[in-house]
Structure 1
């Protein structure tokens, strides 16, 4: 399901760019029609809502599973500053070992935590933008409708940045590409049940 999530995430991002261009936040900044999904705002909104339902439902299942089973704690914690610095240094020298693709390095842990929080924030700010009257209290907490739009735009930028870094790191360690596509690593010498168990340890 990993690649399916990626497809719907791209649907959300590119349709969001189409919505943004109808009422820009940064004066003079627009997205090229080549990158936008939808020729006009209404069409982009339809695409955005289609992708939204899939990602929200899938995200709720993922968060519930991760929290209930302790998977987040096991896979994403702890993050030691020394490990983070060392991993960044190794990455800049293009020396990422990553012998065991089922274990995340410090940078991966931090990036996954950031993108999980960004995804949750996108749901909150998205609700405020989508139904500002019904969620007027939420809009007020966020600082107003326009502030919610700015926060939603910032969250999108964080997620796009994550995707770029995610793919770049995978290209530096080619054996992780299968895990990105399938949602889990293909481990030689293991049975089908063990492969499935290994896949469950891969963050979607």
Structure 2
């Protein structure tokens, strides 16, 4: 009888794990909306940057959006509202449901160092997708802060007279442009790492599509 129970348990355990909801519907919806909004903002932002570069390089027209400054601005502002509304929904639900507290806290130096070493040596486990490791916690918490900064610095650049107090917080119009640029670079870097990890651990991508 015990062997039958054991066999039954081992047979049903994978099914139970497979059917468990890892990513709730609202997380998946805001994730993909955010992905579209960020792609539009980054590509149009590169076209805007090309009109008045901060550094000695410009972005290839093949990876920009808008065709010219006016067109890029229209795409950028449209995507900005989508990003802001979607971001507010994400922040509100993340706080109200307790997801941020459960998923992102605590973050410790020892934990980050330990998981970083494990990741670099290929020993970091991805068996339980419902729990973030310390590196993931740090990256996800950090990108939320970067997302808030890029929106605020963008508003400071967009309305430097009407929102002069906000522009002043960033140290002026030109300083706000640099903050905006480096936040964009951080988001692009995060996106690249995010996509690479999703390809290395395809079940995490599946969970973000079907939830299980």
For 1:63, which of 91, 112, 120 is the aligned residue? 91
TM-score, normalised to structure 1, is 0.85
1:171 aligns with 2:188: no
Is the contact made by 2:33 and 2:86 (CA closer than 8 Å) also made in structure 1? Answer: no
Whole-Å separation in 2 of the counterparts to 1:160 and 1:179: 22
1:12-64, Cα deviation, whole Å (9 max, x unpaired): 111100000000111x2100111111111111111111111111001111111
Specify every segment of 5 or more residues in structure 2 that has no aligned partner in the other structure, as ranges: 1-28
Specify every segment of 5 or more residues in structure 1 that has no aligned partner in the other structure, as ranges: 187-204
For 1:25, which of 31, 48, 54 is the aligned residue? 54
1:134 aligns with 2:184: no
Aligned to 2:135: 107
Whole-Å separation in 2 of the counterparts to 1:6 and 1:58: 11
Whole-Å separation in 1 of the counterparts to 2:132 and 2:60: 36
1:74 aligns with 2:102: yes
Is the contact made by 2:54 and 2:178 (CA closer than 8 Å) also made in structure 1? Answer: yes
Structure 1 residue matching 2:122: 3-state secondary structure = coil
Aligned to 2:41: 12
For 1:161, which of 167, 178, 189 is the aligned residue? 189
Aligned residues: CA RMSD: 1.4
TM-score, normalised to structure 2, is 0.82
Whole-Å separation in 2 of the counterparts to 1:9 and 1:108: 20
Whole-Å separation in 2 of the counterparts to 1:149 and 1:166: 25
Is the contact made by 1:101 and 1:185 (CA closer than 8 Å) also made in structure 2? Answer: no
CA apart distance, 1:158:
0.9
Structure 2 residue matching 1:129: 3-state secondary structure = helix
Residues 113-132 of structure 1 mapped to structure 2, 5 A cutoff: 113-132=141-160
